[in-house]
Amino acid sequence: MGMEGIGARVARKEDKRFLTGKGRYTDDMIVPGMKFAYFVRSPHAHARITGIDVSAAKAMPGVIDVLDGKQLQADGIGNLICGWMIHSKDGSPMKMGAWRPLAVDTVRYVGDAVAIVVADTAAEARDAAEAVVVDYDELPAVTTSLAALGEGAPQIHPEAPGNLIFDWQIGDGAATDAAIASAAHVTEIEIHNNRLSPNPMEPRATLGIYDSAEDHFTCYTTSQNPHVARLVMSAFYNVAPENKLRVIAPDVGGGFGSKIYIYPEEIVCLWASKKTGVPVKWTSDRTEAFLTDAHGRDHVSKVKMAFDKDHRIIGLKVDTIANLGAYMSLFSSAVPTYLYATLLSGQYAIPAIHANVRTVYTNTVPVDAYRGAGRPEATYLLERTMETAARELGISPAELRRKNFIRSFPYQTPVIMNYDAGDYEASLSAAMQAADWDGFPARRAQSEARGKKRGIGMSCYIEACGIAPSQAVGSLGAGVGLWESAEVRVNAVGTIEVLTGSHSHGQGHETTFAQLVADRLGVPIASVNIVHGDTDKVQMGMGTYGSRSGAVGMSAIVKALDKVEMKAKKIAAHLMEADESDIVIENGELKVAGTDKSLPWFQVALAAYTAHNLPAGMEPGLKEGAFYDPSNFTFPAGCYIAEVEVDPETGKTEILQFVAADDFGNIINPLIVEGQVHGGLAQGIGQALLEEVRYDEATGQILTASYMDYAMPRADDLPSFTLSHQNTPCPGNPLGIKGCGEAGAIGSPPALINAITDAIGINDLTMPATPLKVWSALQGSSMRMAAE
Amino acid sequence: MAKVTLTVNGRTMSGECDDRTLLVHFIREKLGLTGTHVGCDTTQCGACVVHMDGRSVKSCSILAVQASGSTVTTIEGIAAQGELHPVQAAFNQHHGLQCGFCTPGMVMTAVDMIARHGGALDEATVRHELEGNICRCTGYHNIVKAVLSANEEMHGAARQAAE
Ligand code: FES
Ligand code: FES
């Protein structure tokens, strides 16, 4: 592997700037003449706008202008779109209501943007926003998916009668029903997946700059995919043609999905910059983030899992309702369908699966992908069901899983996915050993002696990463291809720039991508720079989400490196008068195999640029680009085990140990991969124990709009984690990478809830398992016991 | 408008600001030191931690005028020229940061924590004292490791020098 190559535990190159306060995030950008924006937002969950009076606001100190949705519409700026078409089972297309960047006649959630105020300072803009008078006729609101589908529910979009966006299905319904009818045992359970706010620590921000001399726009923004932002703003929102719009996503302080989408603020600040003639910067505060950043999850499902007499699963039937909020966000339709139901086979051989998914509008923040996006929902559903079944059948949870594991590959599931490689038994065994599963009864007895309730729980997850083969997703309704691009530029002095369409917002690409180059060429990572996040520098790319940067983004770099190497070898062969096929690249040199003849890398690079002596007909220069389109998804998988102690007096859960055994395929940098797992686990544990977005059902007001009300995991809510890897290389891409970004968030919630329900001996418990909920459950059971 | 004078990272700086301006905004916008971040509006996340007269404070919870006359150290000021402070080095070595947004506050908190405990730090104490700093990326595992390792490095070195 070499000291800095693939597999080396290299400390990150990018750290120094972050550690010394030299990171450059969007809100750090200062340009001459820059002014500040504040958005006037709806205080109501659902209302008709009957008038907007901006005259008082315009007269406030420092105010440059106040602009509303009618002006935006008059200028031809388009509505926000959902980029993935889903058809209902009756063949009709999904029913997308209009989402205007600034609401014109109706507001549909608390936080819906109505107008923008531009002023000299952020404080002045905020003050003036208070003076904008918007007249509202309040309408009844609905916040839960079940209520939105109910008889007489408030109608949110005229395009979607009954608030139903689509009613979609996958799998074989008849075969599944037959399996259930013939089953020796059927486990039935209702599963709630709680609504979450992603909460990257950097709030969203954007700086729109219009240059009237060039008729050109620049947009700094907190984006995971600046190229997609440019494409969508240009092709659909009519902001500017692509050649007149530069999007830059500089250092971005975390995304977790929430910074994939193009939000109203980016569009409106660009437009407002042209209207006012000044650069316009907007930075979200945390409350605004809770009010407007896309939320995640929010599923309610009914499950039936059928077993034969040998405890083999013979059928799985799932009926899910997904809350998509007030508008359809960019990928919102794909999350509860192709990113969710296609993973319902889990790690198990299930001959018949059928899932029905209904998505609904409610008067809440739009819901879209959040770390894992659909796959955590599938895993939580399956693994809670498996645990419940094991309890009902009276067999150990490990045995039930082992009995049903898929053991030969490739494996075609009944729900589209074709698993290419895996070894589920290996992760299960490793996790059980690391957790000392067999020693648990003794530990439980010790806890009992101290008046505590101890429990242990597992979860076996699979996810689909490396998103995604373009043709396949195109046939399923995606509006874009999901390949990645790369360009490798070798400078005349031999140093290297790699341009990538992936975007790093914490993942460490500047290090791992350089490690790949170091591995191939034997040059130090210090001589390799990674360029990303700017549409003027990198031609096109699809960005970073779905653990795609390694499996897809790095594969594109491999392809470009192949071409660079081929040309460098030709030049070296020519210069050393050797046969091209005898040239090998090692330790920063091009050598003639079996001889002592060699040329250092930089000399070959220099020769490419002096062009004094190149093979006949060869173009000067050493720079190659490539696009890589994956042939399949990748399938990371693993087994997680949580051991907890519940204090029956308070209902508080303490995590005593958390074991994660993962198969990520080949690993470029274990230090970084472990960090990704830690972060994912914290978010998954947050979902299981602490986090939930809550609304007041009567008024549609969000109740959890600050860190006082929304419980983020803190350092002393979490244990140190025990990690291990059982890697089966992915056969689908040149580096054998599967991806690791989401695993922690996918596998951990069911392991924890399985552990807590094991501890308290009550299976019926919803996330987040707060002390109050656990305590109440225990009170309920002791009351029941007393009554019996 | 108020005039605020501060000694920041060893230099005396002054500027005019609104009476209501928070210290964090004064540092970021008037002094141009953007390493100190704003991650919330309820003084909970710790992205804004700086040292004021030798103590760590959340610079979003204090007005710039209140801070006038004090000595402030920000993330830009803790490393000797060109070198990392041992806490910064430990965060790098142990991968205690991902997106880097919480990092300045984490580092400033950790420097203060290590100084206050005089070498006697354990995992439980570190986790407890990080209560006021939220990180969404790392799950804290490697931050805790980095703080303990920096503590060892700094106080281990001090012990050796004393011997
Ligand atoms: S910005 Fe100061 S605590 Fe969050
Ligand atoms: S490193 Fe991203 S929030 Fe801590």
CA of B134 to the centre of ligand 2 (A): 8
* CB-based contact B137 A201, cutoff 8 Å: yes
- Output DSSP code: residue B29: I
Kindly indicate the confidence band of residue A133, based on its pLDDT and cuts at 50, 70 and 90.
very high
Report, as an integer, the average pLDDT of A670-697.
Answer: 97
pLDDT, residue A2, reads 65
The partner residue sitting opposite B45, judged by closest CB among A123, A201, A252, is A201
How many domains are contained in chain B? 2
For A1-52, the pLDDT digits (tens) are 468 999 999 999 999 999 999 999 999 999 999 999 999 999 999 999 999 9
Ligand nearest to the CA of B98: 2
The DSSP secondary-structure symbol of A233 reads H
A19: helix, strand or coil: helix
| pLDDT tens digits along A528-540 | 999 999 999 988 8
Which of 84-123 (B) contact A at CB < 8 A? 84, 88, 91-93, 95, 97-104, 107, 123
DSSP state, residue B38: -
CATH number of A34-137+217-250+263-275: 3.90.1170.50
Residue B156 and residue B92 in one domain: yes
Residue identifier of the C-alpha nearest atom 2 of ligand 2: B99
Residues of chain A with CATH 3.30.365.10: 299-467+632-787, 483-628
Distance from the A27 Cα atom to the nearest Cα atom in chain B, whole angstroms: 9
Is residue B111 within 8 A of residue B153, CB to CB? The reply is no
Is A286 in Cβ contact with B41 (below 8 Å)? yes
Number of Cβ within 10 Å of residue A574's Cβ equals 18
Residue A658: per-residue pLDDT: 98
Instruction: Give the model confidence (pLDDT) of A336-362 as tens digits.
Output: 999 999 999 999 999 999 999 999 999
Retrieve residue A570's tokens: 């030709």
CATH number at residue B6: 3.10.20.30
**pLDDT (0 to 100) of residue B69:** 97
The runs of H, that is alpha helices, within A488-598 are: 509-521, 555-575
CATH architecture of A299-467+632-787: 2-Layer Sandwich (3.30)
pLDDT of residue A480: 86
Residues B47 and B95 grouped into a single domain: no
Q: What is the mean pLDDT of residues B124-135?
A: 97
Where among B17, B44, B77 does a domain terminate?
B77
Provide mean pLDDT across the span A783-787: 57
Pick the CATH number of A483-628 from 3.40.1160.10, 3.30.1160.10, 3.30.365.10, 3.40.50.300: 3.30.365.10
How confident is the model at residue A784, as a pLDDT? 59
Q: In A394-418, which positions are buried (b, 16+ CB within 10 angstroms) versus exposed (e)?
A: eeebbebbeebbbeeeebebbbbbe
What confidence tier does A785 reach under pLDDT thresholds 50, 70, 90?
low
pLDDT score recorded for residue A165: 98
Residue B88: which of A22, A12, A19, A17 has the closest Cα? A19
Helix (H, G, I), strand (E, B) or coil at A767: coil
CB-based contact A20 B91, cutoff 8 Å: no
Render pLDDT for B10-37 as a digit per residue (tens, 0 to 9). Answer: 999 999 999 999 999 999 999 999 999 9
Give me the pLDDT at residue A475, please. 87
Residue list, ligand 1 pocket, CB within 6 Å? B 38-40, 43-48, 58, 60
Report in angstroms the alpha-carbon separations of A159 from A95, A164, A336: 6, 10, 20
Same domain for B50 and B117 = no
Task: Say whether B91 and A15 touch across the interface (CB within 8 A).
Answer: yes
Phi, psi of A37 (to 5 degrees): -110, 150
In this model, does residue A266 exceed pLDDT 60? Answer: yes
The predicted model gives A410-434 an average pLDDT of 97
Q: For A552-571, write each residue's pLDDT tens digit.
A: 899 999 999 999 999 999 99
Q: Which of A15, A17, A19 to mutate to test the interface with B (most CBs of B within 10 A)?
A: A19
Same domain, B53 and B93: no
* B62 Cα to the center of ligand 1, angstroms: 11
Rounded to the nearest integer, the mean pLDDT of chain A is 96
Pairing of strands A47-53, A299-307: unpaired
Please answer yes or no on whether A18 and B97 come within 8 Å at the CB atom: yes
CATH of the domain at B121: 1.10.150.120
Instruction: Name the residue among A327, A463, A307 with its Cα closest to residue A393.
Output: A307
Token pair for A345: 């086979």
Contact at 8 Å (CB) between A287 and A73?
no
Amino acid at B59: S
The verdict on the CB of residue B136 being under 6 Å from ligand 2 is yes
What interhelical angle do A375-393 and A397-404 show, nearest 10? Answer: 120
**Interface touch B136/A254, C-beta < 8 Å:** yes
Residue-level pLDDT at A281:
98
Q: Residue A136 burial by CB count (10 A; 0-12/13-18/19+): exposed, middle or buried?
A: middle
- Please check whether residue A402 is in contact with residue A316, taking contact to mean a CB–CB distance below 8 angstroms: no
Residue A28: closest CA among chain B residues belongs to which residue?
A: B34
- Above 60 in pLDDT, residue B154? yes
Mean pLDDT of chain B: 95
The size of chain B, in residues, is 163
Q: Does A654 touch chain B (CB under 8 A)?
A: no
pLDDT value for A26: 97
Residues of B numbered 48-67 whose beta carbons fall under 8 angstroms of chain A's beta carbons: which are they?
none
Residues B104 and B70 in one domain: no
Contacts of A503 in chain B (CB under 8 A): none
pLDDT, position A1: 47
- Range(s) of the domain holding residue B44: 2-77
| Rounded to 5°, angle at Cα A686 from A684 and A688 | 70
Q: How far is the CA of B137 from the centre of ligand 2 (A)?
A: 4
Phi and psi for A188 in degrees, rounded to 5? -120, 135
Strand A280-283 and strand A35-41: the pairing is parallel
Q: State pLDDT tens for residues A461-510.
A: 999 998 888 888 888 998 888 889 999 999 999 999 999 988 989 999 99
Q: Please report the residues numbered 124 through 183 in chain A whose beta carbons come closer than 8 angstroms to any beta carbon of chain B.
A: none
User: Is the pLDDT reported for residue A782 higher than 70?
Assistant: no
Is residue B67 located within the same domain as residue B32? yes
